[in-house]
Structure 1
Amino acid sequence: MPLIRVDVLERTFDTEEKERIVRDLTDAMVKIEGENLRPITWVLIDEVKGGEWGIGGKPYTAEDVQALAKGTEA
């Protein structure tokens, strides 16, 4: 059974966005392995506390990610 793990910063995605992540990743896996695996395809979203996730030596928060998504630096 496929297990897809996704790590995100807490407060970066709301409930609807996380549901979309689960649906879209499941659909992507089904396209590869076939419809019969849909019922046993797992998607696990883990949320990491802001400041406990670093990129390039800089700790990131949800606000930093939201600023990047808008095209601005935090």
Structure 2
Amino acid sequence: MPFVNIKIPEAALSTPQKEEVIHRVTDMLAEYFTEAARPHTMVLIEEVKDGGYGRADAVYVTPAPFRARD
């Protein structure tokens, strides 16, 4: 069973955008593993809260202009 775990900043993607990512990743894996894998493919999108991770020794907070609106 293919399993993909995607971590994104909280509120970076809207619900429709997350749905699109799930569908496109599933399609990609079905191309590689054949259609037989589609019903067994799991795509998990985890939203990491602001301040919950960092890059280059700095705590990351999603800027307001980059927050998705559902």
> When the two structures are superposed, what TM-score results if normalisation uses the length of structure 2?
0.85
Structure 1: distance between partners of 2:61 and 2:45: 17
Please state how far the C-alpha of 1:48 moved relative to its aligned partner: 0.6
Residue 3 (structure 1) aligns with: 3
Mark the CA change 1:38 to 1:50 in structure 2 (over 3 Å): closer, same or farther: same
Residue 70 (structure 1) aligns with: none
Where does structure 2 lack aligned partners over 5 or more consecutive residues? none
The code of the aligned residue for 2:16 comes to E
Determine what percentage of the aligned residue pairs are the same residue: 32
The one-character-per-residue Cα deviations of 1:8-51 (angstroms, maximum 9, x if unpaired) are 11111110110011001111111111111101100011111011
SS at match of 1:12: coil
RMSD: 1.6
Task: State whether structure 2 residue 42 is matched by structure 1 residue 42.
Answer: yes
Mark the CA change 1:54 to 1:31 in structure 2 (over 3 Å): closer, same or farther: same
Aligned length: 66
Residue 27 (structure 2) aligns with: 27
Residue 60 (structure 2) aligns with: 60
Higher RCO (C-alpha 8 Å, min separation 6) = 2
Where does structure 1 lack aligned partners over 5 or more consecutive residues? 67-74
> When the two structures are superposed, what TM-score results if normalisation uses the length of structure 1?
0.81
